């Protein structure tokens, strides 16, 4: 049995009931993106997107019609709208309290220790967009070599450095030092290396980004690994779980590379009879277009995935399934530059599952519970499996 999960990072499917408390009442990443920059998504529509609640259909965008797969939405119960919160809940970890954020920057108790670890001081130390921060602080960084430290509305400590000034391994070492500091009362979900390159106003070297996550409690990934089956993390997936629970990790440069490597791994698994889970994150929707409030770019990214979807479906081996989900919203027409509190998308291809309405699931953890049941892994954590609805 081979399951493949593809996360369309930030492709939200409409506000959650508590969206107003996050300032996101009315947000809808998919609908608003397609309204601002219409693009044809026939393959997603046919799989089941046209049947998902609140999704606006139209001949030029999401053509109405019957679903060839199963469809629904996912509700996040953990109090957050970030990558770590969503992905941890996918695999059975529901947070009672949100990860800590630092809207005023990090306190001296953190920064003094970080400065001592790097020996170079720091620049910025406040919430900033990734594009703006290298434009505004990059020139001074080139002169001084001091790392640019910044955060966002998410629980992140981000370190930007020019690749010609700070070698990647040095930047990663600084991130590991920050990860050790940012525990306990100052714990953040992720420390992120944000290298950049080139001349002013500079270019982000996204392919060299690296996340250093808090270590999660035991997840469904660990349970599947314990059965002796494969657990393959592709893209930033292994980083999100602090590299826990995987038998294989595959780096990607962008969405196209992530899709290509997912297809290759699926085909190899089908050939050699591999059983287990392939788990991929496609981050470009979020990092390149959502935060930058670029609906045209976001739509083009959706169209590129839609074009690849038939190949992904064709690569599913007999008895297996392809599960397409999303972890939060990032409405590119919304105010600000942060994520939006939305339902996750849920689309499933499996032979015999055409037209199955999975409804609005009570928690993201239903995904992990489904993985555990399908692969025979022992799991007594949160989540209700929908596997029997697909068989």
For residues 150 and 133, the answer to whether their CB atoms sit within 8 Å is: yes
User: Is 249 inside any structural domain?
Assistant: yes
The answer on 250 and 154 residing in a single domain is: no
Domain boundary among 162, 194, 213: 213
- The annotation status of 291 as a binding-site residue, yes or no, is yes
- The annotation status of 9 as a binding-site residue, yes or no, is yes
Q: Pairing state of beta strands 357-361 and 321-325?
A: unpaired
Six token digits for residue 63: 């053509």
The answer on 287 and 256 residing in a single domain is: yes
Report the distance separating Cα 193 and Cα 213, nearest Å: 11
Six token digits for residue 29: 């990443």
Per-residue model confidence (pLDDT) at position 127? 97
User: Is 195 inside any structural domain?
Assistant: yes
Six token digits for residue 157: 């400590």
The answer on 297 and 339 residing in a single domain is: yes
The answer on 234 and 208 residing in a single domain is: no
Residue 175 has, within 13 A of its CA and on its CB side, a CA count of 28
Per-residue model confidence (pLDDT) at position 203? 96
For residues 331 and 293, the answer to whether their CB atoms sit within 8 Å is: no
The answer on 384 and 313 residing in a single domain is: yes
Ranges under pLDDT 70 in the chain: none
The answer on 244 and 347 residing in a single domain is: yes
User: Is 239 inside any structural domain?
Assistant: yes
| Count of residues making up the chain | 391
Q: Biggest alpha carbon distance in the chain?
A: 62
Six token digits for residue 177: 């030092």
The answer on 275 and 150 residing in a single domain is: no
**Would you list the DSSP string of 288-313?**
IIITTT-HHHHHHHHHHHHHHHHHHH
- The annotation status of 338 as a binding-site residue, yes or no, is no
Report the distance separating Cα 352 and Cα 68, nearest Å: 9
Q: Is 121 left (phi over 0), alpha (psi -120 to 50) or beta?
A: left
Six token digits for residue 194: 């944000």
Name which of 318, 325, 388, 385 is nearest 353 in CA terms. 388
Q: What is the CATH number of the domain that holds 75?
A: 3.40.720.10
Question: Which residue has tokens 């109405």?
Answer: 64
Domain boundary among 213, 242, 272: 213
User: Is 329 inside any structural domain?
Assistant: yes
What's the sign of the alpha-carbon dihedral 386, 268, 43, 7? positive
Count of domains forming the chain: 2
The answer on 225 and 205 residing in a single domain is: no
Report the distance separating Cα 218 and Cα 4, nearest Å: 20
The answer on 199 and 68 residing in a single domain is: no
Residue 212 has, within 13 A of its CA and on its CB side, a CA count of 21
User: Is 102 inside any structural domain?
Assistant: no
Domain boundary among 192, 213, 234: 213
User: Is 103 inside any structural domain?
Assistant: no
Per-residue model confidence (pLDDT) at position 273? 96
Report the distance separating Cα 170 and Cα 268, nearest Å: 35
What is the distance, to the nearest Å, from the Cα of residue 350 to the centroid of all Cα atoms in its chain? 23
The answer on 288 and 352 residing in a single domain is: yes
The answer on 155 and 7 residing in a single domain is: no
**Beta strand ranges found along the chain (DSSP E):** 2-8, 70-74, 123-127, 148-151, 156-162, 190-197, 203-204, 210-213, 230-234, 248-250, 276-282, 321-325, 344-349, 357-361
- The annotation status of 32 as a binding-site residue, yes or no, is no
Question: Which residue has tokens 């490597």?
Answer: 261
User: Is 64 inside any structural domain?
Assistant: yes
Domain of 368 in residue numbering reads as 2-97+216-390
Cα torsion for 381, 157, 252, 243, to the nearest 10°? -40
Question: Which residue has tokens 């939305």?
Answer: 342
Q: What is the CATH number of the domain that holds 172?
A: 3.30.70.1250
User: Is 134 inside any structural domain?
Assistant: yes
For residues 181 and 191, the answer to whether their CB atoms sit within 8 Å is: no
The answer on 247 and 285 residing in a single domain is: yes
């Amino acid at each position: 049995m081979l399951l493949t999960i593809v996360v369309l990072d930030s492709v939200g499917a409409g506000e959650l009931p508590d969206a107003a408390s996050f300032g996101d009442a009315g947000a809808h990443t998919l609908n608003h993106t397609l309204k601002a920059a219409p693009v044809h998504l026939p393959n997603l529509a046919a799989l089941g997107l046209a049947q998902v609640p609140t999704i606006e259909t139209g001949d030029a965008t999401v053509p109405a019609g019957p679903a060839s797969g199963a469809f629904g939405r996912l509700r996040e119960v953990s109090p957050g709208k970030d990558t770590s919160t969503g992905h941890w809940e996918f695999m059975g970890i529901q947070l009672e309290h949100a990860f800590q954020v630092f809207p005023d920057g990090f306190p001296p108790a953190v920064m003094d220790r970080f400065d001592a670890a790097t020996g170079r001081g720091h620049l910025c130390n406040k919430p900033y967009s990734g594009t703006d921060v290298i434009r505004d602080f990059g020139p001074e960084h080139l002169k001084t070599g001091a790392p640019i430290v910044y955060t966002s509305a998410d629980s992140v400590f981000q370190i930007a450095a020019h690749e010609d000034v700070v070698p990647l391994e040095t930047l990663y070492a600084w991130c590991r030092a920050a990860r050790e500091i940012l525990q306990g009362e100052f714990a953040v979900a992720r420390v992120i290396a944000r290298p950049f390159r080139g001349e002013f106003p500079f270019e982000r070297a996204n392919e060299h980004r690296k996340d250093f996550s808090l270590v999660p409690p035991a997840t469904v990934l660990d349970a599947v690994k314990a059965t002796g089956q494969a657990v393959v993390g592709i893209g930033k997936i292994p980083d999100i779980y602090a590299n826990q629970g995987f038998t294989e990790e595959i780096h990607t440069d962008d969405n196209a590379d992530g899709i290509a490597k997912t297809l290759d791994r699926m085909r190899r698994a089908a050939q050699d009879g591999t059983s287990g889970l392939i788990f991929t994150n496609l981050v470009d929707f979020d990092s390149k277009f959502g935060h930058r409030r670029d609906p045209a770019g976001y739509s083009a990214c959706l169209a590129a995935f839609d074009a690849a979807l038939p190949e992904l479906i064709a690569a599913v081996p007999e008895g297996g399934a392809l599960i397409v989900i999303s972890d939060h919203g990032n409405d590119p027409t919304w105010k600000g530059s942060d994520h939006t509190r939305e339902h996750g998308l849920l689309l499933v291809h499996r032979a015999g599952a055409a037209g199955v309405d999975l409804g609005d699931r009570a928690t993201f953890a239903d995904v992990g519970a489904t993985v555990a049941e399908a692969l025979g892994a022992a799991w007594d954590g949160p989540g209700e499996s929908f596997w029997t609805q697909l068989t």
